[in-house]
Amino acid sequence: MIIDIHGHYTTAPKALELWRNQQIASIKAPTTKPAVSALVITDDDIRETIEQNQLRQMRERGLDLVLFSPRASFMAHHIGDFQVSSTWASICNELCYRVTRLFPEHFLPIAMLPQSPGVAPETCVPELVRCVEEYGCVAINLNPDPSGGHWTSPPLTDPHWYPIYERMVEYDVPAMIHVSTSCNACFHTTGAHYINADTTAFMQLIQGDLFARFPTLRFVIPHGGGAAPYHWGRYRGLAQELKKPTLAEHLLHNVFFDTCVYHQPGIDLLTRVVPVENILFASEMIGAVRGIDPETGHHYDDTKRYLDAAALSPEDKRRIYETNARRVYPRVHAALAQKGQ
């Protein structure tokens, strides 16, 4: 089985974007605030967007299961206040849940949180609980920078975040550390802000001692871990200067990297530097990079091709494609076990 841990509903029906535009406009004109009931998306609308996009590409690429969350760039936690984020998160999470109900063999849900700059993270807990208990979400996406590129929140190791971590531990769900849109003109959203955030999260975790307090907490750092695997010696050296244990002792029981790296040399380096036990297959299919690579004739985000070509044993490939996902996402394993898979 091949499990893709990084999928977003980037092809959601147009009605979702139109409703969101109305919601954003109503921040300055409250009387125009759209009702949640005004958003009408039928099951047929969902089927059309999935069957012609994600499901078609999954079949073409030989993928079996995608862990599916709302579109990351649409989270836009910096827009409006907590109530705006809360309503928007609820709508997006329900929509992804509907996808997983319509295509239960191919998708499992991951929840976004209703984060908002300057608002205490415990306000996100009710939505986290609802999504795990009612929707069967197997993980959450956690934005370390709800300000959208200005980094006004404390580091991920700060007690500020503990209310979320406590629920993650209680439910045994990991978090993908994933920022949203950048509203800072210095940082292109997908080309700079995403990669900056991945790298920043890794360094924050090196500097702190979060996993001494939460030994079973698990994070996935996407997009190949930002700069971390490609400057591994730098981070090993910084950990040493900070009088921290080695990276293997300090972080690698709790921190994992996905394979959203869109060229063969990058995948080759990732799989040579990072222990195989810490790598999980992902493609971010129909996400940030959707074009075809003229050097290969294939889509950049067809990451299975790179892993298939990597100098790895069949057993190591199986770990990356399936075994590690079952271990890092226990609710995925439980869901598959119920189906006899």
> Catalytic residue numbers?
284
Q: Residues 116, 87: contact at Cβ < 8 Å?
A: no
**Tokens 């790895």 sit on residue:** 312
130 closest CA partner among 73, 171, 189: 171
Give the rounded distance of the alpha carbon of 90 from its chain centre.
17
The CA-atom distances, in angstroms, between 222 and each of 56, 259, 281 are 23, 7, 10
Phi first, then psi: what are they for 107, rounded to 5°?
Answer: -140, 145
The answer to whether the CB of 263 falls within 8 A of the CB of 219 is no
- Per the CB < 8 A criterion, the answer to whether 183 and 163 are in contact is no
Q: Which amino acid is at 67?
A: L
Query: Which tokens belong to 315?
Result: 């057993």
- 207, 157 contact by CB (below 8 A): yes
> In terms of C-beta distances under 8 Å and separation of at least 24 residues, what long-range contacts does 287-295 make, across chains too?
287/6, 287/8, 287/10, 287/72, 287/260, 288/190, 288/194, 289/190, 289/262, 293/262, 293/263
Beta strand pairing status for 3-8 and 65-69?
Answer: parallel
Angle at 199 between CA 195 and CA 200, to 5 degrees: 115
